[in-house]
Each structure stands twice: as C-alpha cells, then as structure tokens.
C-alpha cells in the first residue's frame, strides 16, 4: 500500500503526533494496556482519526501487535490520511519491509514531498531508518542548494539535508548510537554530511540500539519503550517511581547539553534525575532560575522542573529566585494587593515593555508554582507579582522553612 501526501506547512501537524509537546492522555505513560484490548483500541483510534493514540497503543504493548496494524493497513482507504500515514510508519518501526520500502521510495520520488517522510523515518529511528536517511543524504550531498531547497508557506526555506540532520539528533536522544558525532550538528545542511561520514565509518551496519531492550522490570521497560516511541513524558513517570533502577536506566539515555531539536527530552531527563536524587542535575536546574534575563527559555522550564521535583530544596530554589528578582528588577506589579485599581505605568519603549511583560510572567509563574508546592500557602496561585506579595512569600518561608509541609509533586506539570 502506497501513499502520496502533498506538503502542508512544514508537515509538522501531520506527524505521528509523537512530538514532545503533545499532552498526556489516558494511556500515554501508564502502560496498562492488555494485548486483548489492542483491537478495540486501534479500531476506535482509527475511526476517530487519532494517530497519536495509534502510536500509544503500539508503544504500550511489549509484543508488537503487527497483525492488528496490518489489518488497519489493508483498510487504509477507509480512514483519514493521518491514520494511513501513522499505520505505515508504525509498521515500519515494527520492521515491516513493505512499509520501509514505501518510505524509501517516497523519500526519493519527490523532492517537494519528502519532509513528512523524513519526519516519519525519524519516528522509526532504528538502523533501517537511519540507513534510508543516509542513502538519501549520499544522493543529495553534491546537489546544488537551489535544486534541493524550496519555499514552504511563502517564506520558509526547506532544505531536506537540514531536516535529516535535525531528525538524526532527535534519534540520538532516544536511542544509543555508537560514537555519535559531537554536539551542535543540527545547524545546516553540511551537518548531514557529518552524519553520513559517521554512518560510513560504522560500516553501514548496526549503529544504534533501543534503551528499553535489556530492561527487565516490566513497568520500567514499558516506560523506556515509550521514550523510544517519542513520548518523552514517560521520562517523568520514570522519575516519579523513586526507583534506583529507574535512575540507572535514565542515566543511560544520551544527553544533549545544547538542547537542540530534542530539548524536551533533555529537560525531562534533568528533572527526572534530580527528582531521583541527582544533586548535580538539581543544582543545574536551580541555577537556571537565576539567568541574566527571564527571557531565557531555560528559566521558565526550570520553574516547571522544580515544581515536578517538589520538596524543601525545590521550594527554596524558587524562593531564592524570587529574592533575586526583587533585588535585580523589582516587583513588576507595583500596586498593593489591597488596591482596587492599578497604578498607571510610566511610558516605556516597545523593548522595555516586552521585557517588563516577560519579567511579570516569570514572577507570576514562580508564585503559582510555590502555591501548588506547599500546604496552606500564604497566597493563592493567582497572586500578582507585587512587592507586597513577593515579600510575603519571603517572610513566610523564613518563618516556616523547617516546619512547612509539602504537596506530593505531580508526575507531569509541563511538556
């Protein structure tokens, strides 16, 4: 069965919905699905055009339900294009040769219709998919840029070689790759050639392995398998087990200090390892609450990570961040919480106004996180970032630091 999918805006919304930013669903990290439930779950997902759910089912069962997905494939025209594409990609990840051959044929057939296929091969992510991607790079590496690049959406320049490089970095965060090239290789098309050199040096053979494959604990194996399938919230679920075995498994996942295309995986690994007691990871997260500017995305991530970690040290890190904010930029909402109207703000340039709004958002996020982390907080989660409110939290913590009771942190607070 073959599919020809015409390009949409960078094809991102048609991907298998395995992106790191997708929301958690009922079975996404819980690993509760029985093999006897697979046919019913697949039928419901296919009928509802829910491609993400199809992938969750595929990842949730230890023994790949290939026959069930082949039944869906045989009924391909009965379902939406997203489902057809998902089924094909899932079968390819299960090692189905026909599905892999179809992906390679589509990849090489139409230069203006390959970004979606590159993304799908990134989901597959095994040695077969890597080999297909590298053969594609070998074919395009000497082609002039004007012959391989094109505009999408009117102003976005698409270069398939750059897409391959980004996809390879995502694969390298989910799987163990042998002698993976150094960091920073997702900047441009030249980096795809670096990946080709890496692949050629490995003898075009076995270059990767899945982390979950030698995990014996059934639940942790399932969660590690979900990471392999792109469900990065499973990392947070592993961190919430408080298991030394989970700690050892998480430490086997590759790291990306540059936080490139797979930044959510890296953030989740930091948070999960810190929650399991890795002091180095905790210190790194705490430090990121004290950036030169709250416009740094890492500072916002660090708030959510500390909320996920929970406990005395996490609250103290956020209190320290509030104290630094108060000392360096001041409270953003100058009015007292008892005032009925806001004080008129002085005239600001556009840049200053943007910075003020981001500081305000940063301070609000800290106050909201703190209110959810302790029992009987002094202020609600909707408290404004006024001098009075920030000082109230600082005073409350100074008085209650040793006696405060903490709310059990949630498994997932972001992503």
Is residue 216 domain-resident? Answer: no
Tell me: do 20 and 136 sit in the same domain.
yes
Please give the tally of structural domains in the chain. Answer: 2
Tell me: do 310 and 410 sit in the same domain.
yes
81-93 vs 97-109: helix axis angle to the nearest 10?
A: 120
Is residue 192 domain-resident? Answer: yes
Contact in structure between 232 and 415 (CB atoms under 8 Å):
yes
Is residue 93 domain-resident? Answer: yes
Is residue 411 domain-resident? Answer: yes
Tell me: do 59 and 204 sit in the same domain.
yes
Is residue 268 domain-resident? Answer: no
Report the distance separating Cα 77 and Cα 406, nearest Å: 53
Which of 187, 211, 235 is a domain's end point? Answer: 211
Q: How far is CA 153 from CA 7, 170, 175, 261, 265, in A?
A: 10, 24, 32, 21, 28
Contact in structure between 40 and 73 (CB atoms under 8 Å):
no
What is the pLDDT, as a whole number, of residue 341? 45
Tell me: do 82 and 207 sit in the same domain.
yes
Is residue 344 domain-resident? Answer: no
Tell me: do 58 and 147 sit in the same domain.
yes
Element (H, E) at 160: helix 160-174
Which of 162, 181, 211 is a domain's end point? Answer: 211
Tell me: do 55 and 202 sit in the same domain.
yes
Tell me: do 149 and 287 sit in the same domain.
no
3-class DSSP state of 157: strand
Q: State the SS3 of 194-222.
A: HHHHHHHHCCCCCCEEEHHHHCCCHHHHH
Tell me: do 150 and 285 sit in the same domain.
no
Contact in structure between 238 and 249 (CB atoms under 8 Å):
yes
Tell me: do 286 and 203 sit in the same domain.
no
User: Is the pTM value of this prediction over 0.85?
Assistant: no
Which among 180, 171, 225, 221 is positioned nearest to 199, based on CA atoms?
Answer: 180
Tell me: do 282 and 207 sit in the same domain.
no
Is residue 239 domain-resident? Answer: no
Domain residues for the domain of 183 are 12-211
Is residue 272 domain-resident? Answer: no
Mean pLDDT per 10-residue section of the chain, whose length is 415 residues: 33 29 39 80 93 92 86 86 94 96 91 84 96 92 74 72 89 89 59 88 84 94 94 93 94 79 83 96 91 60 93 96 83 51 57 75 93 96 93 97 92 49
Tell me: do 290 and 201 sit in the same domain.
no
Tell me: do 160 and 282 sit in the same domain.
no
Which of 180, 196, 211 is a domain's end point? Answer: 211
What is the pLDDT, as a whole number, of residue 184? 54
């Amino acid at each position: 069965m073959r599919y020809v999918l015409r390009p949409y805006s960078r094809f991102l919304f048609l991907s298998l919905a395995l992106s790191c930013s997708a929301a958690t669903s009922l079975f996404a990290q819980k690993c509760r699905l029985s093999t006897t439930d697979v046919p019913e779950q697949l039928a419901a997902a296919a009928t509802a055009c829910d491609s993400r759910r199809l992938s969750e089912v595929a990842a949730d069962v230890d023994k790949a339900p290939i026959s069930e997905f082949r039944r869906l494939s045989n009924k391909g025209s009965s379902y939406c294009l997203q489902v057809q594409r998902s089924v094909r990609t899932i079968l390819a990840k299960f090692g189905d040769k026909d599905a892999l051959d179809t992906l390679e044929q589509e990849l090489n057939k139409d230069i203006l219709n390959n970004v979606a296929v590159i993304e799908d091969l990134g989901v597959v992510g095994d040695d077969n998919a890597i080999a297909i991607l590298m053969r594609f790079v070998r074919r395009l590496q000497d082609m002039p840029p004007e012959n391989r690049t094109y505009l999408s959406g009117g102003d976005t320049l698409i270069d398939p070689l750059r897409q391959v490089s980004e996809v390879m970095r995502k694969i390298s965060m989910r799987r163990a790759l042998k002698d993976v090239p150094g960091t920073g290789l997702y900047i441009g098309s030249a980096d795809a050639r670096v990946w080709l050199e890496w692949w050629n040096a490995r003898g075009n053979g076995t270059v990767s392995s899945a982390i979950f494959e030698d995990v014996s604990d059934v639940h942790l194996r399932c969660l590690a398998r979900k990471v392999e399938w792109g469900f990065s919230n499973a990392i947070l679920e592993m961190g919430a087990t408080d298991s030394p075995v989970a700690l050892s498994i998480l430490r086997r996942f590759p790291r990306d200090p540059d936080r490139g295309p797979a930044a959510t995986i890296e953030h989740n690994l930091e948070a999960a390892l810190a929650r399991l007691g890795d002091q180095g990871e905790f210190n790194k997260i705490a430090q990121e609450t004290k950036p030169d500017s709250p416009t740094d995305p890492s500072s916002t991530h660090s708030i959510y990570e500390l909320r996920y970690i929970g406990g005395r040290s996490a609250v103290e890190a956020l209190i320290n961040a509030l104290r630094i904010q108060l000392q360096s930029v001041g409270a953003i909402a100058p009015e007292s919480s008892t005032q009925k109207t806001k004080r008129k703000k002085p005239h600001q340039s556009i840049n200053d106004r943007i910075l003020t709004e981001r500081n305000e958002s940063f301070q609000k996020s800290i106050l909201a996180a703190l209110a959810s982390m302790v029992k009987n907080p002094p202020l609600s989660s909707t408290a404004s970032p006024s001098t009075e409110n920030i000082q109230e939290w600082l005073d409350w913590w100074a008085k209650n630091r040793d006696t405060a009771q903490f709310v059990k942190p949630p498994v997932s607070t972001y992503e």
